Structure 1
Amino acid sequence: MKRKDILTPIGIFVGITMVFVGIFTNGGLGGVTSFIQISSILVVIGGLIGAILVNFSLRELKLTFKVFKEAFRQNDTNLRQLIQLFVQLSEKARREGLLALENEVEDVEDPFIKKGILLAIDGIEPEVIQDIMNAEIVAIEERHQKGRAIIQKAGEYAPAWGMIGTLIGLVLMLNNLTNPETIGPSMAVALLTTFYGTLLANLVFTPMAGKLENKTEDEMFLKQIVIEGVIGVQSGQNPKILEEKLSAFLSNEEKNELVDEEEEEQAEFAGESVNGL
């Protein structure tokens, strides 16, 4: 399950706001308006779109909006809950057999987990299950990399198109040197394209590509835990041993929280037993 990642829009908003607050404190409202130049924006955005269209195929470009959306969403998967899921599946499989997990699969939302459990129910060898699921991980990582490449390239192209816009402005300025009073304003306008290109690259595209890469790494980490869990369930591993094995993926803080939860559950169970006597 995924929810909105508010840090991405907040980060972009804070960055842009602080830039223009800095401009305002030095140049007032007139300084801020002097940084708004439609022609410079058109050169940077238009050139950037053109370069992206040349660089990528139509199939890859269709991923653009999906990739952008991923930068504004985050995975809600809880490692401790994931481990507990496999512990419960292991307990049921040992008690009732692997076929008893068919009903449990219907309640699982994650398609990767569902696929692994179904492979286990079908009696596929653990090595084959591992190979199949690892192949899917490689394919997912490859798709993520292709989608992320569009954002990364935009980060590379934006400053370059800013410089191209500056060169255009300088050429136009040099062609009109007969009026010295226009040199200063013309130079300012010429430099604005570099400002726009650099701002887009370093505040939007490059950080967004970095966030997407981190999300991919986190997702691949979770999928490795899933593989270990599925193999443990399929091989009939003791639930306690499986829990210890999967807990190795947790940080020390998360391990302590898991221990605290187990102690609370045991205390509640003991309390209910005493009350029932």
Structure 2
Amino acid sequence: MDFASLIGIVSGLSLIISAIFLSGDIKSFINVPGMMIVLGGTMAATLLTFTFREVAAAFRAAAFAFTKDREDPNTAVETMIRICNVGRKKGLLELGNLDTDSGFLKKACGLIADGSEEDVVRAALRTEIDSLKMRHFAVQDVFKKMGAYAPAFGMLGTLIGLVHMLSKLADPSSIGPAMAVALLTTFYGSLLSSMVFLPMAGKLKARTISEVMQLEIMLEGAIAVLKGNNPIMVYESLSSFIPIKERVPLEKMDIRQGDI
């Protein structure tokens, strides 16, 4: 699991629960009608905005982003240098037989092996990157919308609670429960928005940036291979995508030929 996400979730919930315990009884913060208003309303509005498939895809992507570590861009640089070595020693045609799990890299190598021009390779791979950005934006938008809907339904629950309270002012015993619904729905909406939905959108955006950088490295690496650049030139070109402090020196990379 992504340790940053784990630390954030655990520390955030721990601080909130601790504050509740220090200020009173945690049972006072549990209100089923309020939860129904916020959760039910948020999900209903989300399903009205997006299709069920889009919502399901968003939650699958969130689970992946929170459970898988970010890929090291140095690995992509290393891979492209190894491909460069294959192309220089065995010929570009050999790249068409390259065995890799990356569909993007497989496509890049296939275009090179087919003898495509640089502008054709760049345009085809750029289209892949732009399409990925659009798909990821749609996933992020689901959680951004949920982050906006949750506080709105929290406010709606507050209004419902106030209406109930004002309609029963003659009965003092009903004022407390109605006020609880009024206040707790706002609390639930704010908590879900700030601790769940918006962080999910932010995490997915960060993963998109990371994945796009990986693909950009592969794109520029493919162009370098097509031009017949030597491994040192490929390394110097591709390592520019990585912060200086995070770069792995060329001499420490495993750039021998083999499985990519």
- With the length of structure 2 as denominator, give the TM-score of the two structures: 0.90
Greater mean alpha carbon deviation, residues 4-13 or residues 230-239: 4-13
Q: Does 1:38 align with 2:32?
A: yes
Deviation at 1:259, TM superposition (A): 5.1
| Equivalent position SS for 1:63 | helix
Identity of aligned residues (%): 38
Deviation at 1:89, TM superposition (A): 1.7
The runs of 5 or more residues in structure 1 that have no matched partner are 266-277
Aligned residue for 1:168? 160
Deviation at 1:133, TM superposition (A): 0.5
Q: State whether residues 166 and 190 of structure 1, in contact with CA within 8 Å, keep that contact through their aligned partners in structure 2.
A: yes
Which residue identity does 1:14 align to in structure 2?
A: S
Q: Does 1:24 align with 2:21?
A: yes
Which residue identity does 1:79 align to in structure 2?
A: P
Aligned residue for 2:249? 258
Q: Does 1:7 align with 2:4?
A: yes
Deviation at 1:172, TM superposition (A): 0.9
Q: State whether residues 73 and 213 of structure 2, in contact with CA within 8 Å, keep that contact through their aligned partners in structure 1.
A: no
Please report the RMSD computed on the Cα atoms of aligned residues, expressed in angstroms.
2.1
Greater mean alpha carbon deviation, residues 222-231 or residues 63-72: 63-72
Aligned residue for 2:117? 125
Q: State whether residues 93 and 101 of structure 1, in contact with CA within 8 Å, keep that contact through their aligned partners in structure 2.
A: yes
User: Which has the greater radius of gyration?
Assistant: 1
| Partner Cα distance (1:185, 1:60) in 2 | 37
Aligned residue for 1:48? 42
| Partner Cα distance (1:20, 1:92) in 2 | 57
Aligned residue for 2:220? 228
* 1:7–1:165 distance in 2 versus 1, CA, 3 Å: same
Aligned residue for 2:184? 192
Deviation at 1:75, TM superposition (A): 4.9
Deviation at 1:260, TM superposition (A): 6.2
Aligned residue for 1:143? 135
The runs of 5 or more residues in structure 2 that have no matched partner are 256-260
Q: Does 1:72 align with 2:69?
A: no
CA deviation vs aligned residue, 1:216-265 (integer Å, no higher than 9, x gap): 1111111111101011112211222111111222221133x415626x99
Aligned residues: 255
| Partner Cα distance (1:58, 1:36) in 2 | 29
Which residue identity does 2:252 align to in structure 1?
A: E
The structure whose RCO (Cα within 8 Å, separation 6+) is larger is 2
Aligned residue for 1:275? none
